[in-house]
Structure 1
Amino acid sequence: MDSGSTLRVEKSNLKPVIKKTYVLDTNVLLHDPTAIAAFNEHRVVIPMTVLEELDHIKDRHDKTVSREARIAIQMIDKVVDAATPQEIQAGVEVPGSAMDGPLGTLAIYPDQLLTDSSEIPFLDATQDQANDNRIINVALRLQAERPSEFVCLVTKDINMRIKAKGSGLLHVEDYRRDRVLDDIDLLAKGYEHLEGDFWSGISEVDTLREGDCTLHRVPRKSLPQAYPNMFLFDDNDFMAFVKRIDSDYVYLRCDSRDNLMHRRFWGLTPRNLEQAMAMALLEDDNVDMTVMTGPAGSGKTLLALAYGLHAILEQKRYNKLIVARSTPPIAEDIGFLPGTEEEKMAPWLAAFDDNLEILHGADESCNGSIEYVKERANIQFKSLNFMRGRSFNNAYIIIDESQGLTQFQLKSVISRVGADSKIVVLGNLAQIDNKYISPLTSGLTYLVEKSKAYPHAGIMHVNGIVRSRLAAFAEENL
């Protein structure tokens, strides 16, 4: 380079951020009350119809959905509280909606003022679909007013998405912020089956002692998918448990299938390897939370209950056994039941009585044994709808049918767990009866993926229908 030459610097022209407009449906805010802060620097529009629906829902008898409606209203109020009517319609900055750069805005659209126009598609506000149509009309109007901008309707209602597209709306999406997976088949199972011989694929291994435990240390790159408290087994006799993981190594504790299969809780022995691995997680003092997924009839509830009785009555580890689940009606609402909280919960928790009968069916007086165990183990039946604000210490807690819970609901339940307690979360992602939740957006899926790296949580997918051959046929073919 000549001494007289100058260094030429080319300017790079950064493209300006293209702000998008997202019109939110009511079910998005019910599913995630914090959704208004989920769109970074973009513009969020809430039609007046959505606020009206939230207002009606917040006073419903269904405590779960009414609570989330109130939270959503409070979130909106925090943003627009000090703004003028003109600012609210134009858009108010959402605090903390982005880590860097411009903040997003929230606007309320007065859709009650919209009227039919020959130039813009307009859905008639028929009685049955009035609210959905009014929300779609807002998105259609914004799209017509801003043809060069990205305007999108966000709703979890499939039929509403179809109607909006059919009416001419170019961009319609499901709410995906709560998705932690692209495919439910990728959900962590708590174990990995390795083909062939495990040791043949390991380049180096060290052996060390920690207390009375022998650990094998292998490079992290040899097991890139490993996470704490998972099981590994191959086609031969290799069986190992991931004790812990650091940035460079995976620490394995070798075990045997025979040892796992010989565990026994309250007279119950495992009927397959997955049940045996689940029992090992339940018994592990280092695991404060065990999440068990799997099809109906795979033994999840029975295993959790058997270990609870074993830990309370034989090992004296806990003072009480708390069984809880949400209480949405599966088919028809049976009304307000008389009696105590436990008596009201009886129709939804009959499965635990069925499992107690299995554990004590051979007793001379089955009913007497069940009542005796309920009293001795201090078994308490609770509704998740009334657990907020409580704290459970020195307790063994079972959360049943968790697949229908949202991420927010499961977080609020798990945060109730106090000192010296263990929680077991059960669920079957194939049996979701909440119309706003899918297997990909279930709180159970979120919990599995977020907790698998936590060293004090264990995950196990219990497969294999042990209820009956008819139950196996129904699960696989019906």
Structure 2
Amino acid sequence: MRNPKKTFVLDTNVLLHDYKCIYNFQDNDIVLPIVVLEELDKFKKGNEQINFHARELARELDKLAGDQLFNGGIKLGKGLGKLRVETGKPFSKTMIESFSEDTPDHRILAIAEYLAKTIKDSPVILVTKDVNLRLKAKSLGLQSQDYLSDKVRDIDVIKKEIDTLCDIDDSIIARLYQQPEGIEASAIKYQFYANQYVVLKGANSSALIYYSAGTDTIHRIDKQRVYGIEPRNSEQTFALDALLRPEVQLVALTGKAGTGKTLLALAAALMQEKSFDQILLARPIVPLANKDIGFLPGDVGEKIGPYMLPLYDNLAVIKNRFKSQSREYMHVEEMLKDQKLVITPLAFIRGRSLSNAFFIVDEAQNLTPHEIKTIITRAGEGTKFVFTGDINQIDSPYLDIKSNGLTYLSDKMHGNEIFAHINLVKGERSPLAELASNIL
């Protein structure tokens, strides 16, 4: 027996998270509270991805516009339900007693409560990425859930440490040292996936290896010094190999603070700068403690400066590996001056050509899956993307460890021949930073 058709009431944050979400509810009906349209209107102006989503959703609704949008609903397409806008509804006695303020959230709750009482043959479910609003809804006896379409079900692959295979025959490891072209993967009884990095340990020897799916071979890799930066552990060695490997066009580096994600990516980019027209290092601006960027003094450059400091800090670490009069130091300065190396907020990249660029996106855990897709799909010929971040340290109130863009990317691209993911576990910033990251 088929489950009854549902009616989903969408909160503003769901639409800003994914403006195409209205097409992801199968044949169930969707209701947009009128207050949601009012809130969306406030987000239309600006250069951030959230503003882009608000504008795109407005265009989507404009295509569907008609009297039916406010009267019975408009069919969204074959196999899909109807979409309609519901006007404001009075607060029930329970709501008046529970919530003293007349806020947009409470108006959405009032509409959801009204629909739950009037629609008898269809369960009404409020969909919101706001945890507090979900709790408020449940306190009223309403069904409520997070937007689940882009949530990763299992994050073990993303959080997994590098595999170590023990009891490997020393003769196999010896062959890896003797044959730079690699050996057949079948020499080891293990199910590899594309661009996987593994540590092999024998009785008297060990090796760091890389699996090439195209040739079904495994190759030994060595530690290498890259633009003054030398890897301090096997994870960093693997990360640098992926960053320097031309056939790997998309790299995800996850891990806690201090594991060297951004530093390694920047060093690898500088090492390969002759192969690319431009190096772009960007990060999304997510103000902390709910402080809007407009509260900061100064012009646009001065406002965004504090958010870009971590990127400049990483560049300073690399520059300080060399003397101020050295060729490498001066070359970095020239690249900044000539804009061959550009450090900028992610929003400022919109509209720019991404052909033949080495593009590093820092703090990618604060991006939505749709934002990640939008960035990657704009890649031109010869562009390499690197996304770095800590999926346990998310600043956006509407993302979590399973729904952020970096987790989504790592999950969906896992096993693809042009993608590599390294999860860096060991902190190398300092013993103090490592201790704080682990126990605080």
Which TM class, normalised by the smaller chain length?
0.7 to 0.9
- Equivalenced residue count is 425
Alpha-carbon distance in structure 2 between the residues aligned to 1:189 and 1:78: 44
1:87-126 matches, within 5 Å, as 88-96=70-78, 98=79, 103-111=80-88, 114-116=89-91, 121-123=94-96
Structure 1 match to 2:164: 193
Alpha-carbon distance in structure 2 between the residues aligned to 1:438 and 1:366: 46
Higher Cα Rg, which structure? 1
Tell me: CA distance 1:123–1:215, structure 2 relative to 1, closer, same or farther (3 Å): farther
Alpha-carbon distance in structure 2 between the residues aligned to 1:366 and 1:354: 20
Structure 1 match to 2:423: 461
Tell me: CA distance 1:116–1:233, structure 2 relative to 1, closer, same or farther (3 Å): closer
Deviation readout 1:343-396 (Å, 9 max, x if unpaired): 765432222332233233354438997564231473112321122232123322
Match of 2:222, SS state, is: helix
Structure 1 match to 2:271: 310
CA positional deviation for 1:110: 1.2
Alpha-carbon distance in structure 1 between the residues aligned to 2:283 and 2:325: 25
Structure 1 match to 2:410: 448
CA positional deviation for 1:157: 1.1
1:7-22 matches, within 5 Å, as 15-16=1-2, 18-22=4-8
Tell me: CA distance 1:366–1:471, structure 2 relative to 1, closer, same or farther (3 Å): farther
Percentage of matched positions with identical amino acids: 32
Structure 2 match to 1:433: 395
Cα RMSD, aligned residues only: 3.1
Q: Which of residues 202, 214, 219 is equivalent to 1:254? A: 219
Deviation readout 1:205-262 (Å, 9 max, x if unpaired): xx9xxx9733414399x655x42111123443254322016xxxx923131xxx523x
User: Do residues 69 (structure 1) and 67 (structure 2) align?
Assistant: no
User: Are 1:387 and 1:413, in contact at CA under 8 Å, matched by a contact in 2?
Assistant: no
User: Do residues 385 (structure 1) and 344 (structure 2) align?
Assistant: no
Whose helix fraction is larger, Structure 1's or Structure 2's? 2
Match of 1:28, SS state, is: helix
Paired AA for residue 58 in structure 1: K
1:165-204 matches, within 5 Å, as 165-169=138-142, 171-182=143-154, 184-187=155-158, 189=160, 191-194=162-165, 196-197=166-167
CA positional deviation for 1:446: 0.9
Tell me: CA distance 1:19–1:443, structure 2 relative to 1, closer, same or farther (3 Å): same
Deviation readout 1:167-200 (Å, 9 max, x if unpaired): 121x211111111234x33426584334x43579
Paired AA for residue 74 in structure 1: R
User: Are 2:322 and 2:329, in contact at CA under 8 Å, matched by a contact in 1?
Assistant: no
Structure 2 match to 1:232: 198
Structure 2 match to 1:420: 382
Tell me: CA distance 1:110–1:360, structure 2 relative to 1, closer, same or farther (3 Å): closer
User: Are 2:228 and 2:321, in contact at CA under 8 Å, matched by a contact in 1?
Assistant: no
Paired AA for residue 349 in structure 1: M
CA positional deviation for 1:325: 1.4
User: Are 1:292 and 1:426, in contact at CA under 8 Å, matched by a contact in 2?
Assistant: yes
User: Are 2:255 and 2:423, in contact at CA under 8 Å, matched by a contact in 1?
Assistant: yes
User: Are 2:366 and 2:396, in contact at CA under 8 Å, matched by a contact in 1?
Assistant: yes
Alpha-carbon distance in structure 1 between the residues aligned to 2:60 and 2:428: 47
Alpha-carbon distance in structure 1 between the residues aligned to 2:299 and 2:9: 44
Alpha-carbon distance in structure 2 between the residues aligned to 1:268 and 1:467: 13
Q: Which of residues 28, 38, 42 is equivalent to 2:24? A: 38
Alpha-carbon distance in structure 1 between the residues aligned to 2:216 and 2:54: 46
CA positional deviation for 1:306: 1.4
Tell me: CA distance 1:472–1:231, structure 2 relative to 1, closer, same or farther (3 Å): same
Alpha-carbon distance in structure 1 between the residues aligned to 2:156 and 2:238: 20
Tell me: CA distance 1:116–1:289, structure 2 relative to 1, closer, same or farther (3 Å): closer
CA positional deviation for 1:460: 0.8
Paired AA for residue 193 in structure 2: Y
Tell me: CA distance 1:435–1:35, structure 2 relative to 1, closer, same or farther (3 Å): same
Alpha-carbon distance in structure 2 between the residues aligned to 1:269 and 1:16: 60
User: Are 1:388 and 1:412, in contact at CA under 8 Å, matched by a contact in 2?
Assistant: no
* Runs of at least 5 residues in structure 2 that lack an aligned partner in the other structure: none
Alpha-carbon distance in structure 2 between the residues aligned to 1:106 and 1:189: 41
1:363-402 matches, within 5 Å, as 363-365=322-324, 370=329, 372-376=331-335, 378-402=340-364
TM-score in terms of structure 2 length: 0.87
